[in-house]
Each structure stands twice: as C-alpha cells, then as structure tokens.
Structure 1
C-alpha cells in the first residue's frame, strides 16, 4: 500500500510517518523494516528510504546492528529498568539546574497542558508525544547541549514505553497531570531539591508500573532478525 506524504522534505515525511506507525503500534514491536519495504510502502527511492530509516535508528525508534535490517525495539524488563534509570539520572540533573533559575519553560507549560487535553480526548498517541515534548523542553532548558544530546538518544525508546503505559491505562491521566504540575511548580518556587525529587518520583512511578505489567505478561520473545535485502 502506498501512503500519502505531507508537503515537506521527502525524507522527513517518510521518517515521520514511520515514527507514527511505530509509536501507535501499527508497526509492531519486533517488526523488521528493510529499506526495500519502506521504499515500496511509500513509493520512494531506496536512498530516501535508507535515510529515513537511519534517522529513526539515530532517534531510538528503530534498532539496527551491522549487516542487519532495522527493527522496532522489543524492550525487555531489564531494558525498561535501564532506560528509566538513565532518564532519572539525566532529568534530575537537568531539573536541578532549571529550578535554580526559577524560570518555567513556556514550552513545558504548553506541552503539559496538551497532555491534559489529549488525555480528556482519549488520544493516547498524542498524549504521549506531548509528554515526551514536555520532558525534552525541561532538559533543554538546563542549557547544556551535551545533556540535551544524551537525553535525546534515549527518548525514542522512552516514547514507545510511554505509549505502552498509556494504552494499558497504567497511569491515570489525573496522576500524570498532578505530577507534571508538581514538577513545574517546584521550578517556579526556585526549589532545586524539590524539583529533583518531583521528577525522580514521577519517573520511578512510571518505571515501576511498566515493569510490573511486563512481569505480569512474562518475558516477550524477539522476532528473528533478517539480513538486509
């Protein structure tokens, strides 16, 4: 099936359409995406498909090893734990810096409001996208390009996790909103210690809820990787 693309750069359009397919579950965890498959799906040149796939690999939405096709990540309980523990390390440091200035990023406020709006509409995918964007905005506000880059490398996988959490209703929207509000309020109060604790407890809760769900479901098996064709 050939999909229509928006009037933007062709690589950008293919990458964005693939990203949405991954986070919505249209392309399932473990699915293998060869460059030829992507080229055929969007009726684009293979070079365009390759560039789009590589972009999603860089952003963490796809995984790829040498001489293998890209695939949608299949995250184990250990992966989830490590991912969120890494987020805690990075975001606690970022929020400590941001709260020392006491300036709440306007982008973070806007994205937090969107989380509430999309939650009320039952739009889990856009809710997760706004959630990710809020956390990105907070980290960027710390003013460290290196911290921002490190954070960006794990947020693709984190985005996939957030969608899984919200589609399974593991965290109530009101709980998420209250925790986001606490984070932003502690920044406004110029309270670095409270800001760090707010984001830490927020991420710990999400991590523990998701890990509990994974343990309930049992270990998920990975699909077999295929050589690039």
Structure 2
C-alpha cells in the first residue's frame, strides 16, 4: 500500500511547537498517536524517519524510541530492512478492540451514575461532530467520534484508563479506513451521541449504558461486515 504522506508530514511541522528542548519520546509518540487518531496516516503507510524527524525537529534516536512505543501499542509495525509502517488491523483486532470498549466505556457510564462528573468534554465532542457534518467533512466527523468516546471513557475519572483508551481508540481509527462511505457510517452516530449525552445529563445512567451497549455492538458489526477477509499484515 502506498500513500502520499506529504500533507500529514507537513502537519507535523505545526506540532513542533508542542515539543521543548527537553522533549521525550513519549511526547513524540503522543503527537503521532493523535495524528493516527485523526486519520492523517492511513494503515499500511511507511513512516519516513528522515521526513518525520525533520518535521518535528527531533533526533533519529528519539523518533525510533517513539516508534518503539507505538509498536508496543500495536499502532505501528517494524519490518526488517523495510522500515516502520502504520499497522493494518485484522478482523480479530476489531473484535478485541470492541471487547475492551464494551468493558471500559460501559463501566465509565455506570461510574458516572455513582459519581457524576461534568459532561463538558462529551458535549464538546458532539458539537465537534455536528460542525464537521455541516461542513461535509466526514473524516473529521470520524475524529470527533473518537474524541466523543475518549470523553465517555473519561467519565471514569482514571488517568490510567484515559491513557489506555487513547491507544485503543487510535487503533480503532485505523479500522475506519475500510469504510467506503464514511458519511453513511458516521452520520447515524451523530444522533446517537446526542441521545447518549441527553440521557446522561438527565441522570438516566441505566438507559445510557443500555444505549451504549447497543451502539457499540452495531458499530462492531458494521466494521466486521466491511472488513475484508484475511485483512491485516502479520505482526
């Protein structure tokens, strides 16, 4: 698979300001993880050490350490004598990602019923999706949906879960690339996201959890049906 990553690498130049002289591989990994979650680097793309390192103004060793971190998170894969690539998920990956999502997101909604937390970030993600849809920017709508579910997981109030879900949801974003019609896939979930927020805001935690359970199962089924048989690269 080959893709023109020029625009994605150019975006990284703007990210250079997020780094400091004491920047670490973890910060670089966080930037790349977010770009993957935004859909900038599609599955199967080869990541050029030279171009990305220059864009971020970092050393090759720092970048390689960041690549190693993201490989551990299953976002990248290193191929001997070929380089580092954005991972192509398998159907089994999709199933496992949704197992994690069912456990974490539904538990986060339940915890909100016991210890309510502000819904600002959840509502902001809903508004982000609405604006993207109004602009016809369906890839951005997918990014907004990732932000929505990160905010749902955030209702648990756990930094460790937040860190884990950033990786899981960035991995999920790689699966969105198989959808031939992103509008048809994402548009119905804009309404469902709003319904979830309404239920949470009204205190109907049980109803929100039930809605979320059906929602995740519908999303999993759609991706599983769209995923090509045998998709994915070994490793």
Aligned to 1:89: 103
**How many Å apart are 1:178 and its aligned residue?**
1.6
Residue 92 of structure 2 corresponds to residue 78 of structure 1? yes
The alpha carbon displacement at 1:73 in A equals 1.5
Q: Please give the alpha-carbon distance, in whole angstroms, between the structure 2 residues aligned to 1:149 and 1:13.
A: 15
Q: Among residues 203, 207, 231, which one is paired with 1:220 in the alignment?
A: 231
Aligned-pair Cα RMSD in Å: 3.5
Please report how far the alpha carbon of residue 13 of structure 1 lies from its aligned counterpart in structure 2 after TM superposition: 7.2
Q: Does 1:20 align with 2:35?
A: yes
Relative distance call for 1:14 and 1:125 in structure 2 (3 A) is farther
Cα offset, 1:196, TM superposition: 1.0
| Structure 1 counterpart of 2:61 | 47
Equivalent pairs, count: 220
Q: How does 1:1-229 map to 2 (within 5 A)?
A: 3=10, 5-6=13-14, 7-9=17-19, 16=31, 20=35, 23-24=38-39, 27-33=41-47, 35-36=49-50, 38-39=52-53, 44-54=58-68, 56-57=70-71, 60-64=74-78, 69-162=83-176, 164-165=178-179, 167-173=181-187, 175-214=188-227, 217-220=228-231, 222=233
Question: TM-score, normalised to structure 1's length?
Answer: 0.76
In structure 1, distance between residues paired with 2:220 and 2:232? 20
Aligned mates of 2:193, 2:136 — CA distance in 1 = 18
1:70 partner SS: strand
Displacement of 1:93 = 0.4
- Cα distance change on mapping 1:125 and 1:55 into 2, 3 Å: farther
Residues 208 and 181 of structure 1, relative CA distance in 2, 3 Å threshold: same
Distance 1:33 1:153, change over 3 A: same
SS in 2 for 1:75: coil
3-state secondary structure, aligned to 1:5: helix
Deviation at 1:220, TM superposition (A): 2.5
Runs of 4+ more than 6 Å apart: 40-43, 65-68
- Aligned residue for 2:166, secondary structure, equals helix
Tell me the alpha carbon deviations over residues 9-60 of structure 1, each in whole angstroms, 9 at most, x when there is no partner. 17657964685378536x4422343645644676753124224434544665
